[in-house]
Amino acid sequence: MFEDTFRDELRHLISDNLLIDKLWSEIQSNYNTPVRYYHNVNHLDSLIDQLLPIKNQIEDWQTLTFSVAYHDIIYNTLRQDNEEQSAAFAYDRLTQLNLPPVQKEKCKLQILATKQHQISNNADTNYFIDADLSILGFDNNSYLKYAEQISKEYSHIPGILYKRGRKRVLESFLIMKHIFKTKYFQDKYEEQAKFNISGELQSLSQ
């Protein structure tokens, strides 16, 4: 559970259990709104499940944990600046926790990196954005469930417009040299991700 990881990292910084409870409650409240079918707390659990096996390869685990926690804290499918707002939100909370400026800036940049999922010169960031995209390479049944959940999050958009936008997003992944930026995630998910995405594109064209 991501909650345990998040609380553990907070305990390295503060001893105020009420504040720890408040910070987690805030995350839980934002991620578990009724309109979030995919980008909810289960998504955070999935990310940490992907990252824990390679924790020893992460240079700054604490910052990465906070990036996971706040990367989708603001999520409004009617807006185009969710990542920017989430990064600003994270920066404010980490300032309250008295994190050094270098860590706050790193967290901010990691969250912003989830907007385009382009390769970074920071290895931790590459692991993070790969974990964020790992669902693309899950087994086909899991992928189909994910695609359905995303569709529900955009149910307010007319079908033809949703299909057009969704196809554009999926095609952007297929034209990348690699969907996943790290060898670890490439070996684990690249082939299946291309299969899954191609299948969804085909269904969207019908």
Q: What angle do CA 105, 45, 188 make, to 5 degrees?
A: 90
- The number of distinct structural domains making up the chain is 2
161 and 124 belong to one structural domain: no
21 and 98 belong to one structural domain: yes
DSSP 3-state of 60: coil
191 and 90 belong to one structural domain: no
DSSP state of 14: -
Instruction: Please report where in the chains the tokens 């980008």 appear, as a residue.
Output: 39
40 and 12 belong to one structural domain: yes
Instruction: Please report where in the chains the tokens 């989708």 appear, as a residue.
Output: 72
Predicted pLDDT of residue 104: 98
CA 201 vs. chain centroid, Å, equals 22
Helix ranges restricted to H, 41-158: 41-51, 61-70, 82-96, 101-113, 123-133, 140-153
Predicted pLDDT of residue 206: 80
Predicted pLDDT of residue 161: 95
169 and 111 belong to one structural domain: no
State the Cα torsion 87-89-91-94 to the nearest 10°. Answer: -130
Closest by CA to 104, choosing from 121, 93, 88, 91, is 91
129 and 160 belong to one structural domain: no
CB 18 within 8 A of CB 87: no
**pTM (2 d.p.):** 0.96
Q: Which amino acid is at 134?
A: S
| b/e map 70-98, b = 16+ CB within 10 Å | bbbbbbeeeeeebbeebbbbbbebbeeee
Q: What is the domain range of residue 44?
A: 2-135
Tokens read off for 81: 């600046």
Per-residue confidence of the chain (206 residues) as pLDDT tens digits? 999 999 999 999 999 999 999 999 999 999 999 999 999 999 999 999 999 999 999 999 999 999 999 999 999 999 999 999 999 999 999 999 999 999 999 999 999 999 999 999 999 999 999 999 999 999 999 999 999 999 999 999 999 999 999 999 999 999 999 999 999 999 999 999 999 999 999 999 98
16 and 90 belong to one structural domain: yes
Task: Please report, for the domain that includes residue 24, its CATH number.
Answer: 1.10.3210
Q: How far apart are CA 195 and CA 27, in angstroms?
A: 33
40 and 122 belong to one structural domain: yes
